[in-house]
């Protein structure tokens, strides 16, 4: 089977070309259960296209035919504050697309889509969706729009005004494609598209994402991108292992200190004997004694 490029690199290069909008539209349509049509790609200061970029995040800001803004982001390595950064990203997209004298009713709907390759939060599913609802504290009813608001703004529910969040936790996918969205997630995880897959846009992706079709310049850029991902993964692993080792060492030191304190409290052994027993200097034992 022909080797395919990763979806994150395609977002940086191939999918910004209007001729390939239908591929991205296919993925978005399957995820959002809507017929998505991309009007244009918008640039933001977080966009990166240079080969020497070592950011492990890919951002793409898209405006669809409904004038909604879609933030598409891929994160390859762990970020513990990722939820907070999602909040910042949607808020920033709102404010950057406002203008002086603009009415609140003109604020654009934001849809945030994150494809993550690390264990974000705690959950067993591989696709999560989040919306904003107002629930009564006493009656437990969901606050609805008035008929006037529905007529004025063409929205059916309160959550339609607020940002929506979609999280695809790729590593949680079990490799079994049960529906058309699963076919896309299978590709995201395995960089492979099966002949029998019929999800919207996916067979064109199989054709356009072939490594063999890349120009020499693009193939070099892609190789550098893969090297950068490996570098980021190695750095994270090294930091994690070093942290674990440091934690174990610190734990042993604290345990030894406590044992020395216990020996001192008993008053049976001399300082010299305690130092010899625990393999430390007499000066260290004396310092620990001061803290008792």
**Domain map (residue ranges) of the chain:** 7-213, 234-290
**What does DSSP assign to residue 141?**
P
Strand-pair partners of 64: 38
Q: At which residue do the structure tokens 């079994």 appear?
A: 176
Mutual angle of helices 271-278 and 282-290, in 10-degree steps:
110
* Whole-prediction pTM: 0.74
> Could you tell me the CA-to-CA distances from 250 to 246, 257, 287 in Å, in that order?
6, 11, 18
Q: In which band, very low, low, confident or very high, does the pLDDT at 52 lie, cut at 50, 70 and 90? A: very low
pLDDT per residue as tens digits for the range 120-162: 999 999 999 999 999 999 999 999 999 999 999 999 999 999 9
What is the pLDDT at residue 244?
A: 63
């Amino acid at each position: 089977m022909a080797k395919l490029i990763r979806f994150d690199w395609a977002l940086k290069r191939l999918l910004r070309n209007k001729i390939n909008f239908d591929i991205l539209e296919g993925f978005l349509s399957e995820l959002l259960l809507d017929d998505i049509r991309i009007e244009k790609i918008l640039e933001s200061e977080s966009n990166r296209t240079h080969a020497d970029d070592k950011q492990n995040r890919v951002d793409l800001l898209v405006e669809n035919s409904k004038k909604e803004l879609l933030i598409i982001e891929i994160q390859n390595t762990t970020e513990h504050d990722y939820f907070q950064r999602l909040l910042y990203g949607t808020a920033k997209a709102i404010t950057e697309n406002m203008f002086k004298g603009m009415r609140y009713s003109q604020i654009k709907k934001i849809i945030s889509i994150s494809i993550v390759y690390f264990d974000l939060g705690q959950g067993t599913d591989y696709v999560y969706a989040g919306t904003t609802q107002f629930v009564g504290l006493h009656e437990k009813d969901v606050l609805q729009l008035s008929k006037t608001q529905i007529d004025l703004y063409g929205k059916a529910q309160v959550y339609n005004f607020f940002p929506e969040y979609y999280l695809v936790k790729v590593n949680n996918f079990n490799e079994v494609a049960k529906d058309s969205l699963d076919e896309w997630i299978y590709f995201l995880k395995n960089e492979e598209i099966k002949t029998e897959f019929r999800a919207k846009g996916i067979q064109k992706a199989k054709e356009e994402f072939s490594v063999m079709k890349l120009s020499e310049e693009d193939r070099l850029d892609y190789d550098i991108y893969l090297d950068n991902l490996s570098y980021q993964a190695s750095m994270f692993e090294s930091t994690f292992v070093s942290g674990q080792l440091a934690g174990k060492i610190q734990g042993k030191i604290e345990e030894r200190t406590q044992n020395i304190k216990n020996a001192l409290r008993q008053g049976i052994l001399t300082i010299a004997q305690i130092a010899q027993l625990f393999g430390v200097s007499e000066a260290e034992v004396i310092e620990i004694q001061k803290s008792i």
